[in-house]
Amino acid sequence: MTENIDDSNDKLITETGVSYRDRVSNIDTSGKRIWIYPTKPSGRFHRARLFVGFSLLAVFFILPFIKYKGQPYFLIDVIDRKFILFGSIWFPHDFYIFAIGFLSFAVFVVLFTAIFGRIFCGWACPQTIFMELVFRKIEYFIEGNANKQKSLAKSPWNLSKTLRKMIKHLFFIAIAFIVNSVLLSYILSIDGVYNMLFVNPSGYLAGIVALSVVSLAMYINYSWFREQACTFVCPYGRLQSVLLDKNSIIVAYDDKRGEPRGKVKGEKRKKSSESENHNSQLTINNSEKGDCIDCGACVRVCPTGIDIRNGLQLECVNCTACIDACDSIMDSINKPRGLIKYSSISNIENRQKFRFTPRLAFYSIILVALLSVFFIFLISRSPVEATILRAKGSTFFINEKGNVVNIYTVKLINKSFDNMDIKFVTEDFSGKFKIIGKDKLVVKAEEMLEGTFLLEIPRKELKSSKNKIKILLFNGKDKVDSEKTIFSGPGI
Ligand code: SF4
Ligand code: SF4
């Protein structure tokens, strides 16, 4: 893990005229990685991001500890194919609902990105939250701000440097292990992870090895790989070029206001100068200049090492650090904030307000249609899934009372946390049911039960040799499901 410290980094990035599109911001002309030392961000957007990020982290860490009816409130148990989402249990049979849900989510991402650009990356992406709000904060705390980090990296190895680096990396390893243990508890439950780590570790050696490998990968990601995950690996970042258009909201530099950029020297001299001639000369110079004083603060603070003044770039993760940095510069030179801001290219170029384009309308219609189907499925989902079929090879028979009898097999899946005592009722016939081999059909919570029953219907109620019937399933007074089937008889 070597840190290629390139003193020309700032210059390369800030220098106007560098062909920034010919190279990635964190790779130098010889192909070596340039280690990025972003300055500690501060400002209103950073405070808002801290609030959002830590709220999301709180949810992430607390959710596995919440239980409902003795079960985890949220569990994605891919091993046993059991999923508990906010207290509601789901099985692989419900995957058609998941499929529609995922499809809706994908369309939502497309629509959201087309309107709001990469807001997700800056505010809610786990990579950015952990990198900027957890690991980077620890780094600032132990190694200091960007300049101190640079000098530490350049300084020879001594006791102080060794200790600082060791403590930082130990913290990184510990956090990676804790985060992955919590992540694993979404699969095994928090009790499962506790059992694996503290009660019976020897019984879960494979699990512990897997957890350690994933934690190591996370540690390498946050200690070394860093912004490259966003610039080289993340597919969502790559999709931006097709999803964004001139109307999309992005973190943008207002070049109409900022250019031509230049140092603020002239203005300072203008204020202090007593010479009328000199004053008028400088007034002309300043009136030709834009609001950007070319201070480079927006570049120094950028965690992906880009210069937002070059326009929209794939590397920009919308972290807003450059907005805060530039706002504070604007405050200090008494200019209005917002030289770098959330805006669209249309707004900056033509001062055009947001337009709901036909493309957005198309995405919205598809999203509404998918969400409607998703919610219909969700609302109509019953706590019991029943499959009722005529018993294989069976036919009807007439019993001693002269009623017609059919034999059925039933398969019941209880998708709730409570046992269910299932009773059958026919909707349009005065049918009588008899369970074979059991008094009752009691399906235990989260379990499946198979059985056979006889259904007897008075012959006079039957209208043909194949009668469509609907069987209602009740648990106590609650109707939990219904199934349609065929009742065969002798005909009229
Ligand atoms: S350009 Fe600005 S918003 Fe984009 S990554 Fe850099 S600092 Fe963050
Ligand atoms: S922080 Fe603002 S003023 Fe300074 S270089 Fe960036 S855009 Fe220009």
Residues of the chain under the 50 pLDDT cut:
1-17, 267-284
- For residue 480, the CA-to-ligand 1 centroid distance in Å is 53
- For residue 270, the CA-to-ligand 2 centroid distance in Å is 21
Nearest CA to 388 out of 449, 462, 438, 479 is that of 449
> Which amino acid residue places its CA nearest to atom 8 of ligand 1?
319
Q: Which of 10, 11, 14, 298 to mutate to test the pocket of ligand 2 (most atoms within 8 A of CB)?
A: 298
Residue 417: predicted pLDDT: 87
Residue 287: predicted pLDDT: 60
Q: Is the CB of 340 under 6 A from ligand 2?
A: yes
Domain ranges of the chain: 9-44+53-233, 243-349, 384-488
Residue 231: predicted pLDDT: 87
> Which amino acid residue places its CA nearest to atom 6 of ligand 2?
298
| Annotation: CATH topology of 384-488 | Immunoglobulin-like (2.60.40)
Residue 20: predicted pLDDT: 63
Residue 216: predicted pLDDT: 98
Residue 291: predicted pLDDT: 95
